[in-house]
Structure 1
Amino acid sequence: MRTTFIAAAVAALAFAGAAQAQSANYGIDPTHTFVTFEIGHFGATTNRGRFDKKEGTIQLDKAGKSGKVDISVDVTSINTGTPGFDKHLQSADLFDAAKHPTIKFSSTKFTFNGDKVSEVAGNLTLLGKTQPVTLKATQFNCYENPMLKREVCGGDFETTIDRTAFGMNYGVDWGFPKNVRLVIQVEAVKQ
């Protein structure tokens, strides 16, 4: 009986070790990662911008179909191509970069379709308020990078948020939309 118990315990530990060994850590490649936003402008055009400084880590267990992601975005790195507009976006009217210099996303759940990530649910913190969001993958793949000689995983993800849920109300009374489309293109290198 004792031998059976010991054998079962060793098998359980071996299985747990094998399952844990499947999980890998990835560092976000800032040269292949972009966080952009789009919001309508009086129903005539679309304003677009991006954040040039971002960092984060990803943990991915393809066999166990799970993962974890933490991404931080520097609000002061906002770039629309128009310096005056960038300054207004950083002001207290909108992103309030002086008080809230960072936007953060932390995952709570990965969903897979086969061996590919199809969505990542998590919490987005903007202007000091945290709301749940789900980032849907429009594409996802892992590949062996020929220059780095390491695995790289990445994809294009998107969601639409109601900015007023975070307290960003500027221009709503004038007809600016509440909804903002976020597009996140991310590649991360296995560490």
Structure 2
Amino acid sequence: MKKALFLTALLAAAGAAQAQSGTYAIDPTHTQVFFEAKHFGTSTNRGRWDKKEGTVTLDKAAKTGKVELTLDMSSISTGIGPFDGHLKGNDFFAVEQFPTAKFVGDKFVFNGDKVASVSGMLTLRDKTNPVTLTATSFNCYEQPRLKREVCGGDFETTIQRSQWGVSYGVPAIPDAVRLLIQVEAIKQP
């Protein structure tokens, strides 16, 4: 009888741990990737990428995960057509030659049950360098319309663009670029 109770408890614990783990699809309608960069040390230029896709694997019980986020670099938008064209050209992102950028993060740090940071590798212009995204907020909730869990938050980091071969105008145009990522991902059945 004790063995049966122990086995039942073990299976229940395994089921609870399984419920904490899942694969989530990035929701493009609630996910944005913005950049901020100083223009000759004066005003701040801002823009975003409108097309993105990816997945998140999250195990809250084990405090592990993996995120893959791909940006369509041709979807960059600052609201100023000629500036967008310059950013798409060879001085900056060379989107004809390098149409996507990709972040793959597999080192999650938790603060309690909340994701505090995700470290991984950012590939841009065919160069790959480490990046850590720091969470300024993180939460999971039951989406009432979809009846599925959604997890997400706000993340940020500052990179030195020259590490990826985007060195046009440095140092007059500062090397530092701030990235702000707002992300929500929907748990898949």
The question of a shared fold, defined as TM-score above 0.5 by the shorter chain, is answered with yes
Q: What percent of counterpart residues are identical?
A: 64
**Aligned twin of 1:149:** 147
Unpaired runs of at least 5, structure 2: 1-8
- Given candidates 48, 51, 55, the residue that maps to 1:50 is 48
TM-score, structure 1 normalization: 0.89
Unpaired runs of at least 5, structure 1: 1-10
Q: CA deviation at 1:148?
A: 1.4
**Aligned twin of 1:108:** 106
CA distances 1:40-97 after superposition (whole Å, capped 9, x unpaired): 0122200001000000000010111111100100000000000110011000110000
Letter of the 1:157 counterpart: F
Superposition CA RMSD, Å: 2.1
**Aligned twin of 1:68:** 66
CA distance in 2, matches of 1:15, 1:115: 18
SS in 1 for 2:79: coil
Q: CA deviation at 1:141?
A: 0.2
Letter of the 1:61 counterpart: D
**Aligned twin of 2:186:** 189
CA distance in 1, matches of 2:98, 2:148: 35
Letter of the 1:25 counterpart: T
TM-score, structure 2 normalization: 0.90
**Aligned twin of 2:6:** none
Q: How does 1:91-170 map to 2 (within 5 A)?
A: 91-170=89-168
Q: Relative to structure 1, is the Cα distance of residues 92 and 118 closer, same or farther in structure 2, using a 3 angstrom cutoff?
A: same
CA distance in 2, matches of 1:176, 1:27: 36
CA distance in 2, matches of 1:58, 1:166: 24
CA distance in 2, matches of 1:45, 1:157: 23
CA distance in 2, matches of 1:146, 1:140: 18
Q: CA deviation at 1:149?
A: 1.3
